[in-house]
Structure 1
């Protein structure tokens, strides 16, 4: 990738923004050195790494990279036997801590079954050296100070230092507090010169203190004297400091040797942490600019969805859709200046090199970028004063260089192609240059002012016109790119809005050729049609999504309703069967009692009369027609016809056949839902007879069905109780009752509240009230029906 192109497309500014998100100097170094790759596999891996890091940031919010320092130079010096100072050893300890934390962080995510591929590879290479880290941290604090606890000898030396220094200060302070001190001392303070404690004595009183003169003031009026009485103590103090220095050097030597022993492992940790920091730097940058991972290909296909220029403020830039490499390989953008043509050009170029550098791009999901072997750009006025080249000559030098190198794996960006010379010659040159680059198979986007190029896209396959939209009403560009619509100059409209006389404008229009006017009218029509189509497409897409969501919700509700209905039917059958069995047992008991009574009381009850009574009791019992259970494993053996009742096996729901839509597919009506179902997924149930009305799932035979004036819910579960209330209200309305009572009891009040809420919204309820004292009080709700 040419450095000149990276400069023209302002890739360096992108890297400047990227660097700000690095956690360490290692990450910043890699960000500054970032260049786009032309190797497809490298680009894929880099995009995967960035996306993986972005995924971790979404899930965890942050990563533990605190303490990471570039210690490569330090480690190389330790490796050859150099002694590291306390600060350097502290940086080594911090980096080891960062490595240990990062390794554990990634391993924990793997344990949580978060799908990661690249991060665990680097985590596995990290060597945990907790013992080395512990030894350093026990000897050196966070500020790089060697602790007293580093060794027993150091602790003793430091204790001697503190004791001796205290004695020195005590003696000097007693001298300062003496009655003569105020006369003989320039200032009543203790100070230090040449690492020894001294007093500031006036020149004329030098002999009063004796000792050693270490310094004097600039005027010579004050001498800094070490009094004779503390010379020995200062000597002892200096000896202790020498011992301290020797002991510290011994400790640092031991720690440096310890670090040197593991130098290769530590350098490997630094390499892994640098890579990880760089991955998360790219991910943080992507998060800030709301970037997405593009799909990458080797086929020269570019599809940018609502792409933005990354260096422009998000609230100012207008996102655009750009597509290249499928139906067409060349885009010619025409239109006036300041309309956004160059921004669209740079957006494409910058998104391409960002993607090839492993960065996410400022576009919506679904965007796609091709990996080009080279990106060429001739953008802006690069007039060279030194070479005395005109604007046209400067552009032409660039174009000549591009034509020498361009091939089918190149992306070429031309800004104002052919500008700076005679319009007719410039347009002819522009067409010829575009033909040359197009014939070599390159992907090309060019901007131009020349009206001759508006027809270029219509005369060649694989080439399409484009323009940036201009709002004549506001005399301002909208910066929206219109693919397939060539640009207009809008000169007449703008002049009219600015107040140019109508007769001047009409005279100018008369000078235009009929052919140009027809083209301009056609372009205006295309712009209007395109805008209308886009608005209608957005509206249609919105309606489609709403319909899709509604369809899903209806399907779910229907399936839930059918499932609940079947469950209620089965429960009703079970309860009815229990009642039947109870009635049968009672009948048996009555017959037994009658026989016993006949024997004991010699009643004149004949046996055939008992049998007849039992028969009548049995006939009076309600009988139930059980719902048919269908074995899903049975294949369809019956030939199906429209109107047949069937079961859709995959949904476990009944329905009716409407029509056969193909050799092995039927349209089935399930409740209010119609859907296409494979024949092998259907189970035949029965074929209805027109003259016989289909019976309910459970038909009560025998005596008339009676609806009670009250419903007792005590002891019922909450959900079952509400279902019973709904069924009871329907039955009561059918029976024509004006008023009914629902007994729910007092209890915790949950059932009472649920019943009240249901009654409040029920279509058949006119009003409700709690029962009077004689009706059961708040344990009963009296319902007035409509």
Structure 2
């Protein structure tokens, strides 16, 4: 990637903002070293990482990344045999604990799916034993604790005893010899307890002089009575230091043993911190994850410059790389052309660095091998180069490297020289870059370039809007509309005499006037189109909401209708069941009479069964869509008349779009679009049960009930026996299988209670054995 473009587009400022969001020095270091990648796969992976971290922040608000330190130098020292300080050991323990915290935090999250983060924390090694060992020796302030070893506890206990005895003796001196002291206090010199004795009382106190004041009036004397105690205290301090060194040496050796795990943990924690730093930067910018491609396509809606405050920046839509590969922006100074140029370039660099960009969701950016920018007045005083020469030097270098995977940004192309020559040179440079299929955005003042986009394939004009009423730019980019001169309008509003303005207009050629009028017309049309688009979006939004509301109402209606169907079915079934019970009572009474005919009762019960409504078939399927079927209808097909909500049968096809349908006793003509296919005419099936033998009716001499539920099996058995009796069979076989014996017991119980069954027995060897019951009919 071209290094100069980082400075021109102020990429380092974005990186510095990124570093401020890192939670540790490790993350900050990695952020400051971030450079754009030219690999599409790498960029996509970085964007996925940032998106995962963004999802976590959106759900949780914050992540536990505190207490993580750069312990790599400390680990390296332990490997070469060095001894770490207590603070360094404590930093290692803190980093181990920080890793466990983030590991637990990510693993406990149920939503959303976080494959990258889960894999990272899954590779973190807890190192609980090493952390426990360090915490057992060093407190939170970095001091080695008494409990680090028995010897250290003993030594420090002796030290406290010696210090107590020394202070007691020294306090006695301050009370008894207070007049001989400059101040009645005990102080320390050369790590030994001393008294501030006045010069004239030196002999009265006695002892070892360790120091004196700058004036010489005070001597710091260690009384002879505490010399031995001070010596013992110093000896204990030496023992303490040796023991602390030994403890730290053991801890350092233990750290060196786990150095591979520690290095891996540090690397993972650095990556995680860096991921969340990128996510936090995106949140602060209200940014979105861009879709990345390698076809040079840029699509951004409401994109903003990353370094301009959100309450000041003007958002713009940018498209490049599909319908056109180059944009030529014209317009007045301070209108926002350069800001737009930098915004596209900077967003491209950010996206290729795995950072989200300040634009609406659904934005798309390309991965370029190089981004070149010639922006601003960068003339070199040392080389005595003019503005034009400086720009041309940069352009010459750019043209050496331009290809189809390059983004080129030209600011004020051809400026700094004769306007006619500059305009011609600008067009020639653009032609060269466009011919190499690079992606180009260029700004210019030259009016000759306003028509450039109309004469070149793949090139489009654009301009920054200028408000004539306020005499200020709006900073809005208008794609497809070249900029026009506002000199006359501005001069008129500033008070220039109208006669002078009209005279000036007379000096302008007809072609220039036509171009200006065309541009004005384009600007008006563009504004109107944008207004119409906004109105259309609002209408679409309202229509969508209305459609959803109607859908909900219709679903509610369907649900209520289904409930009514179910209620009606239950009521009908209840009525029929009541009628059946009453009929059974009547039959019982009739059977007690001599003139009762069994076959007449069977026929009557069949008719009663046939009166039971099958309302479940009439209920609409909740999951079924009600859209009409467009298949061709045939005579006999059952159809639904959508407008009448009735069911009928097709009797005749009148034309391709009209059919005659029988609805009950009526015949109606219906358009095809008002008919919904239900089902085709089914061929008549022969009834499985028989009536009278010898008149074309027949029934099998056996009934297979295997696999049937008990209640259904008993119903089938009852109907079968009725038909067998009508057929005149002397005996029949009921196949029920062995199984649990429930069906066999049911068949036997039925046989005992049926007046037309004289006897029953299990099947013989050749009849199916215990899996069959033979019924004798009389």
Which interval holds the TM-score relative to the shorter structure? 0.7 to 0.9
State the SS of the aligned residue for 2:162.
helix
Partners of 1:141 and 1:453 in 2: CA distance: 73
2:34 aligned counterpart, secondary structure: coil
SS at match of 2:443: strand
Change (3 A) 1:640 1:52: farther
* 1:85-484 paired onto structure 2 within 5 Å: 85-109=85-109, 112=110, 114-178=112-176, 180-181=177-178, 183-484=179-480
How far 1:625 sits from its partner (Å)?
Answer: 6.0
In the TM superposition, what is the alpha-carbon distance from 1:113 to its structure 2 partner? 6.1
Residue 627 (structure 1) aligned with residue 615 (structure 2): yes
Match of residue 639 from structure 1: 633
- The 1:253/1:683 distance shift into structure 2, 3 A limit, reads same
Does 2:512 correspond to 1:524? no
Q: 1:678 to 1:7 in 2, by over 3 A?
A: farther
Per-residue CA deviations over 1:154-193 (Å, capped at 9, x if unaligned) read: 1111111111111111111121122x41x21111111111
Give the Å deviation of 1:83.
0.6
Deviation at 1:580, TM superposition (A): 5.8
Cα distance change, pair 84–641 in 1 and its aligned pair in 2 (3 A) = farther
Structure 1 runs, 4 residues or longer, greater than 4 Å off: 579-596, 623-626, 630-638, 640-645, 653-658, 676-679
2:501 is the counterpart of 1:501: no
CA contact (8 A) 2:639 2:677 kept: no
2:55–2:112 contact (8 Å) kept in structure 1: no
What's the offset of the Cα at 1:101? 2.1
**Cross-structure match for 2:724:** none
Offset at 1:683?
A: 2.4
Looking at structure 2, the residues matched to 591 and 122 of structure 1 have their Cα atoms a distance apart, in angstroms, of: 81
Residues 464 and 483 of structure 1 are in contact (CA less than 8 Å); yes or no, is this contact kept in structure 2? yes
Q: Distance in 2 between matches of 1:165 and 1:20?
A: 48
1:296-341 superposed Cα distances (whole Å, 9 cap, x missing partner): 1111111111110000001110111111110100100001001000
1:729-744 matches, within 5 Å, as none
How far does the alpha carbon of each residue in 1:91-150 deviate from its partner, in whole angstroms, 9 at most, with x for none? 1111111122223333333xx364222223322332221100000001001111001111
For structure 1, the 5+ residue unaligned runs are 600-606, 609-618, 667-675, 687-786
- Take 1:647 and 1:84, find their aligned partners in 2: how far apart are those partners? 90
Q: 1:228 to 1:339 in 2, by over 3 A?
A: same
Distance (whole Å) between structure 2 residues aligned to residue 27 and residue 46 of structure 1? 15
Offset at residue 656 of structure 1 (A): 10
Q: Counterpart in 2 of 1:57?
A: 57
Question: Partners of 2:53 and 2:631 in 1: how far apart?
Answer: 57
Deviation per residue, 1:26-52 (Å, 9 max, x gap): 101011111111122111111111111
CA distance in structure 2 between the aligned counterparts of 1:126 and 1:198, rounded to whole angstroms:
54
Cα drift, residue 555 of structure 1: 2.2
| TM-score (norm: length of structure 1) | 0.77
Structure 2: how far apart are the matches of 1:449 and 1:566?
72
Please, which of 537, 542, 555 is the counterpart of residue 541 of structure 1? Answer: 537
Query: What is the aligned-residue RMSD (CA, Å)?
Result: 3.5
Q: What are the superposed Cα offsets for residues 205-226 of structure 1, whole Å, 9 maximum, x if unpaired?
A: 0111111111111100001111
Q: CA deviation at 1:288?
A: 0.9
Residue 376 of structure 2 aligns to a residue whose secondary structure is: coil
Taking the aligned partners of 1:28 and 1:385, their CA distance within structure 2 comes to 36
Aligned to 1:738: none
Q: 1:708: which partner in 2?
A: none
Deviation at 1:508, TM superposition (A): 0.9
**Shift in CA distance, 218/655, structure 1 to aligned 2, threshold 3 Å:** farther
Q: Distance in 2 between matches of 1:645 and 1:52?
A: 54
SS of aligned partner of 2:617: coil
- Matched residues in 1 for 2:136 and 2:27: separation? 29
Change (3 A) 1:654 1:159: farther
What TM-score do you get using the length of structure 2 for normalisation?
0.78
